[in-house]
Amino acid sequence: MIAPVRAAQRLTRRLRPAPPAPFETPRRRRDPSPSRLRYRLDRLGRRGYVRFALRRLAPPAALMLMALGAWQSATLREAVHERVESLRASLMDRPEFAVSRLEIVGGAPELQARVSNRLGLSFPVSSLRLDLPALKTEIETMPGVARAVPKVMPDGALRIGLVQRAPEALWRWDGQLHLVDADGVLISPVAHRADRADLPLILGEGADRAVAEALVLWKRAEPIHDRLRGLIRMGERRWSLALGGDVLVHLPAENPEAALQRLLALDAADDLLDREISVIDFRDPQRPVLRLTARAVAELERAKALIKGKDA
């Protein structure tokens, strides 16, 4: 029998009147004999498998049925959802988790301002609501940022460690000058070449993908920095140097440093670059080719004629 029924029986037993005194006619009591159905049920309940089913299987089954019923009813599910949400919110909004300010470390002040604008956080915010990996990827997609390390500090600050990209070259692309780093990643646009005269200018198709190569050449070409106007990527495989006075130096795709070395040596020995030359072609390392300017050719022809005439 179930517990509440037992408790009720216990109560009624307590409320029952006292037993009759000797020789008082006892009250007519209820027949204590169980009905046939009751007797059969009782004995069925004492069978091993029935007991097992009632004790071990029925409670979990009832629980599962109840859970299923609750799941089926939309209002109940919503109520539970709401309650869970409010609980979660109250937990998140506790002052222990609050982040009250932003601290950006590293990078130029202009970049810091850009980052803080981009994040657009309104403080205070719960640290549980902040998605630090997402913040990190978002900041790192910004131009000029190499690496960002966001971290919630114990004093309630969101500290972002920034590593700025170092501008290594100027890239002219689509008529516009851009600062790029050693990996060829854009940093910011620049208005005039003169703003960053210290950096090499690169241009041409695919120039941004070979910035490292250009930088090596730039370093090698230090003696002629005053002449060197820029490096041009040709056919996405080799570099040409554009020098002052419309001089082009074609460097080979393989081992351009050796060719550059040779150019410098020629210049030092014979002042090659001071002569009237329009193109110096080092593409075939065995046979460098020079092309004179039109005026030089005319001058040469004149000189030749003079020599001929004198001879003649």
Partner 1 sequence: MRHALFDSQRLMRDQLRSALKRGLLAVLDIGTEKTSCLILRIDPARLASGARENGALGGFAAMRVIGAGTTQSRGVRLGEITDMEECERAIRTALQRAEKNAGVRVDQVVAAVSGGRPTSFGATGDAEVMSGEVSEADVAAALVGCPEPPLEEGREILHALPVNFTLDGASFLSDPRGMNGQSLAVDMHVLSVASAPLRNLARCVRRCDLELAGVVTAPYAAGLASLVEDEQELGAACVDMGAGSTGVSIFLRKQLICLDSARVGGAHVTRDISEAFSLETAIAERMKVLHGGVVATGLDDRELISAPVLGGEGQERTLTRAALIGVIRPRVEEIFEEVRMLLDRAGFQGLPSRRIVLTGGGSQLPGLEDAARRVLGQRVRVGRPLRVAGLPQNVTGPAFSALVGLAVYSVRPHDEFWDFEAPSGLSGGTRMRRAVRWFKDNW
Interaction site with partner 1 (CB under 8 A): 22-26, 31-34, 36, 39-40, 42-43, 46-47
Kindly state the smallest distance separating residue 53's Cβ from partner 1, in Å. 15
What is the C-alpha separation between 227 and 200, in angstroms, rounded? 12
d(CA 211, CA 171): 9
In the three-class reduction of DSSP (H, G, I as helix; E, B as strand; rest coil), residue 39 is classed as: helix
Q: Are 162 and 139 in contact (CB under 8 A)?
A: yes
Cα atoms in the 13 Å half-sphere on the side-chain side of 55: 9
Q: Is the peptide bond before 189 cis (omega within 30 degrees of 0)?
A: no
CB of 66 to partner 1, least distance (A): 30
Question: Contact 161/155 with Cβ under 8 angstroms?
Answer: no
Distance CA 202, CA 199 (A): 9
The nearer residue to partner 1, 26 or 154, going by C-beta atoms, is: 26
Smallest separation (angstroms) from partner 1 to the CB of 93: 56
Eight-class DSSP state of 54: I
CB 95 to partner 1: min, Å = 59
**Residue 173 β-bridge partners:** 176
Nearer to partner 1, 50 or 76 (CB): 50
Min dist. Cβ of residue 56 to partner 1 (A)? 17
Q: Which residues contact 191 (CB under 8 A, 6 or more apart)?
A: 177
Is 50 or 166 the residue whose CB approaches partner 1 more closely? 50
Which is closer to partner 1, CB of 16 or CB of 29?
29
CB of 9 or CB of 176, closer to partner 1: 9
Closer by beta carbon to partner 1, 46 or else 310: 46
Shortest distance (Å) from residue 96 CB to partner 1: 55
